[in-house]
Amino acid sequence: MSSTSDPPVLRRRVFYISGYDPFPPRRYRELYRKEAADQAQISGYEIDVSRSAAGPSEWQVCSTQDGHRTLTSVKVLVWSDIVRQSFPATSGGTYLAMVRTARVYVFSGALQRLVRLRKGPVIAAFYPVVMLLFQAALALAAACLVFRGGTGLMTGDRLIMLRTALVAGAGLVAALAVLRAFRAMDKRFFAHYLMHDFAYTASADGAYPAALSYRLDGFAQQIRDALQDEADEVLLVGHSSGAFLAVTVLARLMRRVPPDPGGPVLSLLTLGQVVPMKSFLPGADDLRRDLRDMGAQKEIFWADVSAPGDGCSFALCDPVRVSGQATPDTRWPLVLSAAFTQTLSPDRWRALRRRFFRLHFQYLCAFDRPGHYDYFRITAGPQTLRTRYGGRASSPSVITTALSGQALATG
């Protein structure tokens, strides 16, 4: 990949798409503020984060790095309301979603292919299933204890049938109480949350739900409007399942109104991607077409960063090629490793290595031994993504084998 150097970025617009997350956008603002301060102290540059009058989904960043002062506006493209609305209202709804999701992945053959690609995220996908079955077993055990205790008092009673029904009802209440207790404690276990995540990804066999598709059109419009500003770079960041949403947003933008060559540089950064969890499903034709088009386009620099230490992502898997959407014109993405075992000190790595969910967010956090990847240099520094990475080749251990079992998208 040839090296390209753009003029220093004095003004930047950053748009961020989170993964499947029900929490409001101020969570990401506060995370950015805290971690930016830590990274600036470690790396020796200046950065200041302030709130925006536009609301909690936006914030302003002023940073001085490498002798240049850069002003950045960061905005979260919100779909947390759609996430919350997708949650089943009851524990029974979660179990029904589990059965439906398992059916989609198993009978489509996607699960078997995902295991061949990366075992880590597939094991992560089994975690909520195991936890939910364990919780159901405890609920059943509670029901049996109540039933046995109650029926033991009924010998010789003329109303034994009525009392049996009452005891059975009490057992059912006990079982529901156990399930509700686990649901209330899900912030500790993440079983319901992760199950909802996989279920939403697999809904409609992998096709985008109508409400989300409409929202993605709105995101594309916001980026199109930003390209009319006086920014030097417009950067779209997609994290986790937000990575495939970001691919779709820019693919739709490119089909409708390609960026003006004389306008701001448009860049795409995907982090900790889980693209195959959706692109391997039979109904994900739109996403596969978007991957094909974004892999072959020439206008947008696309860097994909992941780390083998992140067990929740398909680390170093080229999302275009493993999804079977490579053509002779495919050039993107540039696939790079954040190399957690090298960019985090031994003490820090030991503290985080078993906190799988936290590690999945490390891309948005400070590194105490930063390498080529620094989220705050990328989003608030003077270099465009193309200047920073234009002379690099993909990491040598990238997986490119087409394993999706799906045909090359057409249309």
Residue 255: which CATH number?
3.40.50
Hey, is 125 helix, strand or coil? helix
- Between CA 137 and CA 147, with CA 142 as vertex, the angle to 5 degrees is 125
Lowest model confidence (mean pLDDT) among 84-93, 302-311, 366-375: 84-93
Residue 165, pLDDT score = 57
How many domains is the chain partitioned into structurally? Answer: 2
Task: Encode pLDDT of 226-261 as tens digits.
Answer: 999 889 999 999 999 999 999 999 999 999 887 777
Do 176 and 224 lie in one domain? The reply is no
Q: Confirm whether 312 is domain-assigned.
A: yes
- Average pLDDT across the chain, whole number: 89
Residue 411, pLDDT score = 64
Do 249 and 375 lie in one domain? The reply is yes
Do 116 and 62 lie in one domain? The reply is no
pTM for this prediction: 0.91
| Nearest residue to 32 (alpha-carbon basis) of 73, 2, 91, 67 | 73
Task: Encode pLDDT of 250-297 as tens digits.
Answer: 999 999 887 777 889 999 999 999 999 999 999 999 999 999 999 999
Q: Confirm whether 302 is domain-assigned.
A: yes
pLDDT band at 406 (very low <50, low <70, confident <90, very high): confident
Do 109 and 224 lie in one domain? The reply is no
Last residue of one domain, picked from the residues 143, 169, 200: 200
Do 330 and 343 lie in one domain? The reply is yes
Q: Confirm whether 404 is domain-assigned.
A: no
Do 163 and 196 lie in one domain? The reply is yes
Percent over 90 (pLDDT), the chain: 67
d(CA 296, CA 302) in angstroms, rounded, equals 11
pLDDT at residue 154 above 60? no
Question: For residue 399, what are the CA distances in angstroms to 1, 335, 357?
Answer: 18, 9, 23
Do 212 and 323 lie in one domain? The reply is yes
Do 244 and 372 lie in one domain? The reply is yes
Last residue of one domain, picked from the residues 157, 183, 200: 200
Q: Confirm whether 397 is domain-assigned.
A: no
Do 137 and 221 lie in one domain? The reply is no
Range of the domain at 193: 87-200
Cβ-contact 410, 20 below 8 angstroms: no
Do 64 and 122 lie in one domain? The reply is no
Lowest model confidence (mean pLDDT) among 97-106, 191-200, 301-310: 191-200
Question: For residue 59, what are the CA distances in angstroms to 216, 280, 321?
Answer: 21, 36, 35
pLDDT at residue 3 above 70? no
- Between CA 225 and CA 227, with CA 226 as vertex, the angle to 5 degrees is 90
Q: Confirm whether 193 is domain-assigned.
A: yes
pLDDT at residue 169 above 70? no
Residue 2, pLDDT score = 46
Q: Confirm whether 408 is domain-assigned.
A: no
pLDDT at residue 402 above 80? yes
| Nearest residue to 327 (alpha-carbon basis) of 276, 291, 287, 299 | 291
What is the DSSP annotation of 30-64? HHHHHHHHHHHHHHT-EEEEEE-TT-TTEEEEEEE
Q: Confirm whether 96 is domain-assigned.
A: yes
pLDDT band at 163 (very low <50, low <70, confident <90, very high): low
Of residues 301 and 95, the one with the higher pLDDT is 301
Last residue of one domain, picked from the residues 150, 184, 200: 200
Do 96 and 72 lie in one domain? The reply is no
Do 383 and 251 lie in one domain? The reply is yes
Percent over 70 (pLDDT), the chain: 90
Cβ neighbours of residue 194 under 8 Å, at least 6 residues apart? 124, 125, 127, 128
Q: Confirm whether 265 is domain-assigned.
A: yes
d(CA 368, CA 345) in angstroms, rounded, equals 6
Task: Encode pLDDT of 178-227 as tens digits.
Answer: 767 777 776 777 788 888 999 999 999 999 999 999 999 999 999 999 99
Task: Encode pLDDT of 31-80 as tens digits.
Answer: 999 999 999 999 999 999 999 888 889 999 999 999 999 999 999 999 99
